[in-house]
Amino acid sequence: MASNEGTSKLHKYLMDILRWIIIILSVLLIVFISVDTFKGINFLENHRYMTFQFWVCVIFMADFFLELGLSENKWHYLRSHFLYFLLSIPYLNLINILDIRLSGEALFFVRFIPLARGVMAMTIVVGAFSQNKLTSFLASYIVSLASFIYLGSLLFYYCESGANHEVTNFGLALWWACMNATTLGCDIYPVTITGKILGCILSVGGIVMFPLFTVYITSLIRQYTAKYRHNLTD
Q: Is the pLDDT of residue 81 over 60?
A: yes
Q: What are the tens digits of pLDDT across the range 3-60?
A: 555 566 777 777 778 778 888 888 888 888 888 888 877 777 778 888 888 998 898 8
Is pLDDT larger for residue 93 or for residue 102?
Answer: 93
- pTM equals 0.75
Cβ partners under 8 Å of residue 128, min gap 6? 136
Cα–Cα distance measured from residue 140 to residue 137, given in angstroms and rounded to the nearest whole number: 5
End-to-end CA distance of the chain: 41
DSSP, res 44: G
Question: CATH 1.10.287.70: does it fit domain 130-234?
Answer: yes
Measured CA distances, 102 to 44, 94, 106, 107, 173 (Å):
12, 12, 6, 6, 24
Which pLDDT tens digit goes with each residue over 95-137?
888 888 877 777 777 877 877 777 777 776 666 565 566 667 6
Tell me the pLDDT tens digit for each residue of 149-201: 888 888 889 888 888 888 888 999 999 998 888 877 788 888 888 888 888 88
What residues does each domain of the chain span?
1-128, 130-234
